[in-house]
Amino acid sequence: TAKKELDELLTMHPGNTDAQCLLAETAYNTAETQSEVDRAMAKLKLVLQLDPDNQRAKIVFKRAKATDRLKVQANEAFKEGKNEEAYTLYTEALANDPSHK
Protein backbone atom coordinates (compact mmCIF):
# COMPACT_ATOMS: atom_id res chain seq x y z
CA THR A 1 0.00 0.00 0.00
CA ALA A 2 0.99 3.62 -0.35
CA LYS A 3 1.17 4.03 3.44
CA LYS A 4 3.58 1.09 3.71
CA GLU A 5 5.78 2.58 0.99
CA LEU A 6 5.81 5.95 2.77
CA ASP A 7 6.71 4.25 6.05
CA GLU A 8 9.60 2.48 4.31
CA LEU A 9 10.75 5.76 2.74
CA LEU A 10 10.71 7.45 6.14
CA THR A 11 12.71 4.57 7.63
CA MET A 12 15.39 5.14 4.99
CA HIS A 13 15.13 8.96 5.07
CA PRO A 14 13.68 10.04 8.44
CA GLY A 15 14.26 13.73 7.72
CA ASN A 16 12.21 13.74 4.52
CA THR A 17 9.50 16.23 5.43
CA ASP A 18 7.71 15.79 2.10
CA ALA A 19 7.21 12.11 2.88
CA GLN A 20 6.21 12.96 6.45
CA CYS A 21 3.68 15.44 5.08
CA LEU A 22 2.19 12.87 2.70
CA LEU A 23 1.92 10.37 5.55
CA ALA A 24 0.22 12.96 7.78
CA GLU A 25 -2.12 14.00 4.97
CA THR A 26 -3.03 10.37 4.33
CA ALA A 27 -3.69 9.88 8.04
CA TYR A 28 -5.89 12.99 8.06
CA ASN A 29 -7.82 12.04 4.93
CA THR A 30 -8.52 8.54 6.22
CA ALA A 31 -9.26 9.51 9.82
CA GLU A 32 -12.59 8.21 11.06
CA THR A 33 -12.50 9.51 14.63
CA GLN A 34 -11.61 12.82 16.23
CA SER A 35 -8.61 11.21 17.95
CA GLU A 36 -7.29 10.07 14.54
CA VAL A 37 -7.79 13.60 13.20
CA ASP A 38 -5.93 14.98 16.23
CA ARG A 39 -3.00 12.59 15.67
CA ALA A 40 -2.80 13.56 12.00
CA MET A 41 -2.87 17.24 12.95
CA ALA A 42 -0.02 16.65 15.41
CA LYS A 43 1.98 15.04 12.58
CA LEU A 44 1.30 18.04 10.35
CA LYS A 45 2.43 20.40 13.13
CA LEU A 46 5.65 18.43 13.43
CA VAL A 47 6.26 18.69 9.69
CA LEU A 48 5.75 22.45 9.89
CA GLN A 49 8.13 22.71 12.85
CA LEU A 50 10.78 20.83 10.87
CA ASP A 51 10.03 22.58 7.58
CA PRO A 52 8.09 25.84 8.10
CA ASP A 53 8.07 26.48 4.34
CA ASN A 54 6.43 23.17 3.41
CA GLN A 55 3.56 24.50 1.28
CA ARG A 56 1.60 21.26 1.13
CA ALA A 57 1.65 20.91 4.92
CA LYS A 58 0.53 24.54 5.27
CA ILE A 59 -2.42 23.98 2.92
CA VAL A 60 -3.56 20.72 4.53
CA PHE A 61 -3.14 22.10 8.06
CA LYS A 62 -5.04 25.30 7.23
CA ARG A 63 -7.90 23.36 5.62
CA ALA A 64 -8.11 20.95 8.54
CA LYS A 65 -8.10 23.75 11.15
CA ALA A 66 -10.83 25.63 9.28
CA THR A 67 -12.96 22.49 9.05
CA ASP A 68 -12.48 21.72 12.72
CA ARG A 69 -13.40 25.29 13.68
CA LEU A 70 -16.60 25.06 11.63
CA LYS A 71 -17.53 21.72 13.21
CA VAL A 72 -16.99 23.11 16.72
CA GLN A 73 -19.16 26.14 15.91
CA ALA A 74 -21.83 23.88 14.40
CA ASN A 75 -21.84 21.64 17.48
CA GLU A 76 -22.22 24.68 19.75
CA ALA A 77 -25.08 26.04 17.64
CA PHE A 78 -26.81 22.65 17.72
CA LYS A 79 -26.47 22.42 21.52
CA GLU A 80 -28.04 25.88 21.78
CA GLY A 81 -30.98 24.77 19.64
CA LYS A 82 -29.90 26.89 16.69
CA ASN A 83 -30.53 24.12 14.20
CA GLU A 84 -30.57 26.24 11.06
CA GLU A 85 -27.23 27.84 11.97
CA ALA A 86 -25.79 24.43 12.86
CA TYR A 87 -26.92 23.04 9.51
CA THR A 88 -25.29 25.94 7.66
CA LEU A 89 -22.02 25.50 9.56
CA TYR A 90 -21.98 21.72 9.02
CA THR A 91 -22.61 22.33 5.31
CA GLU A 92 -19.69 24.78 5.18
CA ALA A 93 -17.46 22.25 6.94
CA LEU A 94 -18.37 19.57 4.41
CA ALA A 95 -17.78 21.93 1.51
CA ASN A 96 -14.40 22.86 2.99
CA ASP A 97 -13.39 19.21 3.43
CA PRO A 98 -15.72 16.62 1.89
CA SER A 99 -13.55 13.72 3.11
CA HIS A 100 -14.64 14.27 6.74
CA LYS A 101 -18.30 13.64 7.18
Q: How far apart are CA 7 and CA 52, in angstroms?
A: 22
Q: Could you tell me the end-to-end alpha-carbon distance of the chain, in angstroms, rounded to an integer?
A: 24
Q: How far apart are CA 64 and CA 94, in angstroms?
A: 11
pTM: 0.78
Q: How far apart are CA 64 and CA 101, in angstroms?
A: 13
Q: How far apart are CA 54 and CA 42, in angstroms?
A: 15
Per-residue pLDDT tens over the stretch 2-55: 667 767 777 787 788 998 998 899 888 888 888 998 999 999 999 999 999 999
CB-based contacts of 31, cutoff 8 Å, min separation 6: 37, 39, 40, 100
